[in-house]
């Protein structure tokens, strides 16, 4: 075999091996692609999560993080999960710490209840703070407590400077002791007062209980009287209006009474007529035969 033939055989073998390896990789990728589904989860932040990190479903590894992208102020994380996993609305997806060094994973607390999500849905995720973040917050809290303690120490120092704090404590102690003595000395009177209040309340209760019907009747009578007073008030208002109208007409000289008041001559003639009528009646009484003539046939 010539040198050229050996080279051709070698190249052919290498190409065949490359094709075999590429075909196996393609078949593996094809198989993986068809055995997994991609889900999209939105988080407020990822806290150092990286592509290819694990996805644990109820503690069992069922996929990986394939891609992350920032959309607005949110982060959308794409998860590649086995096809037998279906995330429902009762499930919870969270970024969780799994080690002391702050390693992150996607933890899916899978529930079979609830409506299932589709691969086109954006699943809301939860970001769980890790130990380092919690310790950082604790450090801030410790600093705040230390600052508060320093301020309290300064306040106590200022109060102790002139003895005000000691005096205040002594005054409070003295006042509490005086109150205790007052209660002790008047305990019998306080007990009697409490008994009197209890007796008064019982009496009031018995009075209202025994006379419930009478009280109800009295309230009904009061309501009826109030209604009648309203009616009377309306009628009085109407009478006042009529009197006001009549007075106005009299003042204007309208009607008989108005004319009598306004016309002096008419008043005088009416007075003379009444006087003449009075004299005529008296004359008839004195001389009835003068006006009454009786004849017999």
Query: For residue 85, what is the domain's CATH number?
Result: 2.40.30
Task: Look at residue 296 in the predicted model and tell me its pLDDT.
Answer: 43
Q: Residues 86-118: pLDDT tens digits?
A: 999 999 999 998 766 668 899 999 999 999 999
Q: Which domain holds residue 99?
A: 36-128
Q: Are the CB atoms for 92 and 144 separated by under 8 Å?
A: no
For residue 268, CA distances in Å to 133, 180, 250, 251, 261 come to 116, 96, 18, 19, 11
d(CA 184, CA 136): 55
User: What's the CA angle centered on 139, arms 137 and 143, to 5 degrees?
Assistant: 115
At 259 the pLDDT is 63
In this structure, is residue 56 part of a structural domain?
Answer: yes
Q: Specify if 50 maps to a domain.
A: yes
Residue 84 lies in a domain: yes
Whether residue 142 lies inside any domain: the answer is no
Using alpha carbons only, give the angle 271, 275, 281 rounded to the nearest 5 degrees.
145
Using a cut of 0.75, tell me whether the model's pTM lies above it: no
36-43 and 122-127: which strand pairing?
A: parallel
Q: Looking at the 3D structure of the chain, how many domains does it have?
A: 1
Answer yes or no: is 102 within a domain: yes
- Assigned domain for 90 exists: yes
Residue 74 maps to a domain: yes
Mean pLDDT for the stretch of residues 210-226: 73
Residue 264 lies in a domain: no
Separation of alpha carbons 164 and 229, rounded Å:
67
What are the pLDDT digits (tens) for 156-179? 666 666 666 667 777 777 888 777
């Amino acid at each position: 075999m010539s040198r050229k033939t050996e080279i051709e055989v070698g190249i052919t073998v290498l190409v065949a091996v490359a094709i075999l390896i590429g075909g196996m990789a393609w078949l593996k990728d094809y198989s993986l692609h068809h055995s997994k589904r991609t889900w999209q989860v939105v988080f407020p932040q990822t806290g150092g999560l990286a592509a290819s990190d694990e996805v644990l479903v109820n503690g069992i590894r069922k996929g990986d993080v394939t891609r992350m992208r920032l959309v607005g102020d949110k982060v959308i994380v794409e998860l590649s999960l086995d096809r037998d996993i279906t995330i429902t609305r009762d499930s919870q997806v969270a970024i969780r710490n799994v080690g002391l060094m702050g390693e992150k994973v996607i933890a899916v607390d899978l529930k079979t209840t609830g409506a299932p999500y589709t691969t086109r849905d954006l699943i809301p995720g939860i970001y769980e703070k890790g130990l380092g973040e919690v310790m950082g917050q604790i450090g801030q809290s410790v600093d705040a407590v230390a600052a508060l303690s320093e301020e309290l120490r300064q306040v106590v120092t200022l109060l102790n400077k002139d003895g005000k704090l000691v005096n205040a404590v002594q005054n409070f102690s003295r006042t509490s002791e005086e109150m205790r003595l007052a209660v002790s000395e008047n305990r019998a009177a306080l007990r009697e007062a409490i008994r009197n209040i209890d007796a008064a309340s019982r009496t009031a209760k018995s009075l209202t209980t025994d006379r419930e019907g009478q009280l109800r009747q009295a309230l009904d009578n009061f309501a009826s009287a109030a209604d009648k007073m309203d009616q009377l008030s309306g009628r009085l208002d109407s009478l006042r209006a009529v009197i006001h109208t009549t007075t106005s007409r009299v003042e204007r000289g309208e009607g008989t009474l108005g004319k009598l008041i306004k016309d002096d001559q008419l008043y005088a003639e009416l007075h003379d007529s009444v006087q003449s009528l009075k004299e005529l009646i008296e004359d008839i009484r004195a001389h009835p035969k003068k006006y009454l003539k009786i004849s017999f046939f």
